[in-house]
């Protein structure tokens, strides 16, 4: 089996979250979707699993699901082919209920450019271009 990455995110409104991620270019895999979660495909090896908070909680044992508007547990970065693609990703997020912002990390834009995007539930995605 090919190695794959599955990023699991807790969401409060599954339908809204599916629409948000579809607007960003993810495709829903209906075979791995139901009322408690949706498999959203970035490419054949990278998926975002949108899980209702109740379903997400089942995987946490003795922990509780964070209010991601208040507390961050992780940031997931997705690489894009150009600075313009990063900017378009952020603009699309904003047009579909998310927000975006830029953090100056002291790198010139021709070396690395990143915009951080919050989905409607406060989960943080970083859209990144790097000169490789």
Q: Where are the domains of the chain?
A: 1-61, 74-132
User: Is it the case that residue 47 has pLDDT exceeding 90?
Assistant: yes
Residue range 100-126: average pLDDT?
A: 93
Q: Measured between alpha carbons, how far is 126 from 89 in angstroms, rounded to an integer?
A: 10
Beta bridge partners of 78: 127
Within 5-121, residue ranges assigned H as helices are 14-23, 53-57, 83-95
Residue 83: exposed, middle, or buried by beta-carbon count in 10 A (0-12, 13-18, 19+)? Answer: middle
From residue 51, how far is each of 8, 29, 57, 125 by CA, in Å? 7, 14, 9, 16
pTM value is 0.90
Angle at 111 between CA 93 and CA 130, to 5 degrees: 50
Length of the chain: 132
Q: How many CB atoms lie within 10 A of CB 44?
A: 8
Q: Categorize the per-residue pLDDT at 61 as very low, low, confident or very high, splitting at 50, 70 and 90.
A: confident
Q: Is the domain covering 74-132 a CATH 3.10.180.10 domain?
A: yes
Q: How many CB atoms lie within 10 A of CB 102?
A: 12
> pLDDT tens digits for 73-83?
888 999 999 99
Quick one: 1-61 is in which CATH superfamily? Answer: 2,3-Dihydroxybiphenyl 1,2-Dioxygenase, domain 1 (3.10.180.10)
């Amino acid at each position: 089996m090919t190695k794959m990455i599955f990023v699991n995110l807790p969401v409060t409104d599954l339908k809204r979250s599916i629409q948000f991620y579809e607007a960003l270019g993810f495709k829903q895999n209906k075979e791995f979707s139901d009322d408690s979660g949706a498999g959203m495909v970035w490419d054949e090896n990278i998926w975002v699993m949108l899980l209702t908070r109740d379903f997400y909680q089942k995987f946490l044992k003795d922990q509780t699901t964070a209010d991601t508007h208040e507390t961050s547990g992780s940031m997931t970065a997705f690489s894009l082919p150009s600075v313009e693609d990063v900017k378009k990703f952020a603009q699309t997020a904003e047009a579909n209920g998310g927000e975006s912002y830029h953090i100056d990390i002291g790198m010139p834009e021709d070396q690395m450019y990143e915009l951080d995007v919050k989905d409607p539930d406060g989960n943080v995605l970083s859209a990144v271009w790097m000169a490789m």
